[in-house]
Structure 1
Amino acid sequence: MLNRRETRMVGLAALGAMLEFYDFVVYLFVATALGDAFFPPDVAPWTRQVQTFAIFAIGYLVRPIAGIVMAHFGDVIGRKKMFIFLIVLMAVPTFLIGVLPTYAQAGILAPVALLALRALQGCAVGGELPGAAVFASEHASPTRLGASSGTLHGVVHLGLVLGTGAAALSSVIAVKAGMPSLAWRLPFLAGGVFGLVAAWLRRHLEESPLYAEIRQSNQLSATTPLRAVLTEHAGACMFGLALMFVMAIFSTVFFQFVPAMLTTAYQIPRQDVLHANMLGTLGLAVSMPLWGRVGDLLGWARVLALGAAVNLLVAVWFFHTLPGVLAAHDTLAMPFCVVGVAVAIVIAQVPGLTASLFPTRVRQSGYAVPYNVGAALFAGLSPVTLSWLVRDFGTSAPLYPVLVAAVVTACLAWKVARMPLYLGIHAKRRASVSAQTAEPHGMPDYTKEI
């Protein structure tokens, strides 16, 4: 697996990314309490819910542009500096949300302040995961890039479990203390404090050796990194966007939409669904380092082909078995855990593979473009699209986009075997194609970028 140095670098990168993921999604777990605190009490409950989720959506709306801008500076001034800045940018607004005055105390200024802080959170998270993925990938040995990728993504996804647990614990504390506001204040306060601690720990990280090398030899991009990505690496962007589509569909269908569907269409108690979803997410996170290592052994093409076949079969089994499980009142945990392990085959490869698509001089911008555009298009629009499918085609309709995602994964497996890559053991293939794809602006050939 990873050696001591790689474990330290990936661990600190993943810890910060996990806390940012937690800070970003914990809003969702305390949304009802936030609605009660930040909007007039005489407003209908459904109106407060819409207003609360509208503020939540602001974080997603600012992500594409903000994430690409943050990545630009990661390519221009260095990975480490932006790495520290981004976690501070997330931690400070998160902490401030925890101490905001309520509508009863500040009137309309309360939701306006919440909106502004939520927008800052969106700016931070849009740049954090691309930065963490690139940083960890550039520190990883070529033979352990997959293990680094899977470990990073596994720890990051623990942020979902952490957010759910923090919301549940804060609710219990609020009831025992007789202070309802603690139900939403504590998760934000804790996230802000831990984020600042993680920022302090990141001071001890070393700059990416690949970035330090091109900076020292004055081989940074001669043009704007975003322009270079879109003009010189458009094919890599499209491949990355397709990879984000697959990740968004697998994650959104099984761990966001299906749980909501179970509580509405099947009237399953929310607590039972939440428990099953947490265990499934835990299975997803824990198995990702293993699948990342499998990627090192098999190669990107074979592991994506395996992921396509397994997820196709598991998805058909899941939706075929689900009605029987619900009718028999059996536990939902087992189906969700099986899905989590299956989805992890593909998702574990995403950070390392996406980082491998682009050269060092524009790698962070290259990662940020498909990641943030994909998050806005696919993760943002999937719930609405799935709701329409269920309305018109029934509760088995979420199976269809999963099958499409499995087919797209198979196509990516075929394509990646024919693409030049910049990181990992398969980057050696670049030497044979360097003459056709030589980098402009005095860049060294591909064999020197490993």
Structure 2
Amino acid sequence: MPALTTPLSRSDVRTLALASLGGALEFYDFVIFAFFAKVIAAHFFPPSQAEWLRQTQTFGLFGAGYLARPLGGVVMAHFGDLLGRKRMFTLSVLLMALPTLAIGLLPDFATLGLSAPLALLALRIAQGVAIGGEAPGGWVFVAEHAGPRRTGTACGLLSAGLTAGILLGALVSLILHGAMTEATIADWGWRVPFVIGGVFGLLAMVLRRWLRETPVFVALHEQGEQAREMPMVLLLRHHRRAIVLSMVGTWTLTAAIIVLLLMMPALLQTLHHIPAGATLRANLAGTCALTLGTGLAGIASDRWGMRRVLPPVCLLLVIGSYALYGVAPAYPALLVPCAVLAGLGGSYVGLLPVAMVRAFPAAVRFSGLSLSYNVAYAIFGGLTPAALSALVPHAGLAPAHYVALAAVAGFMAVWRMPRSEQP
């Protein structure tokens, strides 16, 4: 039976709030690209191309950000395990804010020609490098502040903060479509969210300077127990099982986020001709459900244990995916309820980091999470958008089949995840 949890202290709440705020802004910067994929495709690729080809290329650029995540994640995690969690946690926000601002100001294909998509690719890679250290660093940071009895609560609430960044992106998109005409958005309005994200990302960097280093790392530093070898060498030598299972679990996380939320508006607009406003409202509702469910799932794992919470969440993930891509296109009036159901299934996002944090000892924890999470995200996050964009014209339920397969794999991975004896 899981140990009873104790309430978070005022210091814990402050740490969680500042970490979650910065994470939300950083994830907003990274995902806002997906919400304006169709408009970006029109600006940065030749107008003579077919619409589906331009959209597939744009999602390919979106995926390129994921391919760059391991580089940033591994480097930042290496120094996070050796020099401290706080420094890298603060640096990642700055590295995200600058390219986001640059995307908002970047000239398009009509001005730069082929240099425009190449420049956009470079900026997406820069964003990927930054985001690579954000989620793993955040989970380690808050878990080590909260302690082992409240790991689920801390990771769940931080994950809810990260998904709130996606919610913020959906909300900004919806407001923009309400305040501007489609022609204005297509002309220059799409740039506004990127400029806003860049400015507020710089603000998040300033706020994170108020955070304290984690007590776990301070104890490691004082006792000289940091990794004596390269953290990656120790991981590959002693923690291969935890790495593999964490990577499989991350595949499920990518499916929940990318397929059910980020790609949903563009896919339903293009395949089923559902109006942009309707898909964005559904996306907003689904992301609200995801944010709420993610926090509650983490809290529930502390109270009732991972093995009691995991099965219903994974089952809900499968049901929600078929509702969104199978039921909603046939019955558009049910689009919002189906999106909410899918979002609640996505609360798996709040459980995986709990299992991963517990799987690695403190000396290599940041590196373990970062390696597993970012390599898996690079593979599945990088290939999924382009692959599904090419498949769905031939198989409308391909996204649901994909999520269902990932849900089964993720369930098995978390169920068999090892648990480190060290705090």
* Fold equivalence (TM over 0.5): yes
From the superposition, tell whether residues 13 and 329 of structure 1 become closer, same or farther in structure 2 (CA, over 3 Å): closer
Aligned partner of residue 206 in structure 1, secondary structure: coil
Distance 2:113 2:331 in 1: 50
- Aligned-pair distance for 1:301? 2.4
1:139 alignment partner AA: H
Q: Is the 8 A contact 2:63 2:386 kept in 1?
A: no
Taking structure 1 as the reference length, the TM-score comes to 0.82
From the superposition, tell whether residues 319 and 285 of structure 1 become closer, same or farther in structure 2 (CA, over 3 Å): closer
**Aligned partner of 1:340 among 323, 339, 343:** 343
Taking structure 2 as the reference length, the TM-score comes to 0.87
Matches within 5 A, 1:63-74: 63-74=69-80
For residue 222 of structure 2, what is the aligned residue in structure 1? 216
- Aligned-pair distance for 1:162? 1.4
For residue 379 of structure 1, what is the aligned residue in structure 2? 381
From the superposition, tell whether residues 255 and 101 of structure 1 become closer, same or farther in structure 2 (CA, over 3 Å): closer
For residue 442 of structure 1, what is the aligned residue in structure 2? none
Asked if residue 21 in structure 1 is aligned to residue 27 in structure 2, the reply is yes
Q: Is the 8 A contact 2:242 2:360 kept in 1?
A: yes
Aligned partner of residue 331 in structure 1, secondary structure: helix
* Superposition RMSD in Å: 3.0
For residue 419 of structure 2, what is the aligned residue in structure 1? 420
For residue 281 of structure 1, what is the aligned residue in structure 2? 287
Distance 1:185 1:397 in 2: 32
For residue 139 of structure 2, what is the aligned residue in structure 1? 133
Q: Is the 8 A contact 1:173 1:182 kept in 2?
A: no
**Aligned partner of 1:252 among 246, 253, 258:** 258
Asked if residue 330 in structure 1 is aligned to residue 333 in structure 2, the reply is yes
Asked if residue 124 in structure 1 is aligned to residue 130 in structure 2, the reply is yes
Distance 1:329 1:36 in 2: 27
1:95 alignment partner AA: L
Distance 1:99 1:388 in 2: 30
1:299 alignment partner AA: G
Q: Is the 8 A contact 1:37 1:103 kept in 2?
A: yes
Work out the percentage of aligned pairs sharing the same amino acid.
Answer: 37
2:274 alignment partner AA: I
For residue 191 of structure 1, what is the aligned residue in structure 2? 197
Higher relative contact order (CA 8 A, sep 6+): 2
- Aligned-pair distance for 1:79? 0.9
From the superposition, tell whether residues 52 and 361 of structure 1 become closer, same or farther in structure 2 (CA, over 3 Å): same
For residue 225 of structure 1, what is the aligned residue in structure 2? 231
The superposition leaves residues 4-52 of structure 1 with CA deviations (integer Å, 9 ceiling, x where unpaired) of 2212111211211111111111122234444455556x65464755654
Structure number with bigger Rg: 1
From the superposition, tell whether residues 20 and 43 of structure 1 become closer, same or farther in structure 2 (CA, over 3 Å): same
Where does the alignment leave 5 or more consecutive residues of structure 2 unmatched? Answer: 1-6
Distance 2:392 2:316 in 1: 24
Q: Is the 8 A contact 1:170 1:182 kept in 2?
A: no
Q: Is the 8 A contact 2:360 2:419 kept in 1?
A: no
Distance 1:86 1:269 in 2: 36
For residue 406 of structure 2, what is the aligned residue in structure 1? 405
Relative to structure 2, which stretch is displaced further, 307-316 or 60-69?
307-316
Q: Is the 8 A contact 1:64 1:126 kept in 2?
A: yes
Where does the alignment leave 5 or more consecutive residues of structure 1 unmatched? Answer: 422-429, 431-445
1:84 alignment partner AA: T
Distance 1:196 1:347 in 2: 26
Relative to structure 2, which stretch is displaced further, 142-151 or 404-413?
404-413
Relative to structure 2, which stretch is displaced further, 151-160 or 249-258?
249-258
- Aligned-pair distance for 1:93? 1.8
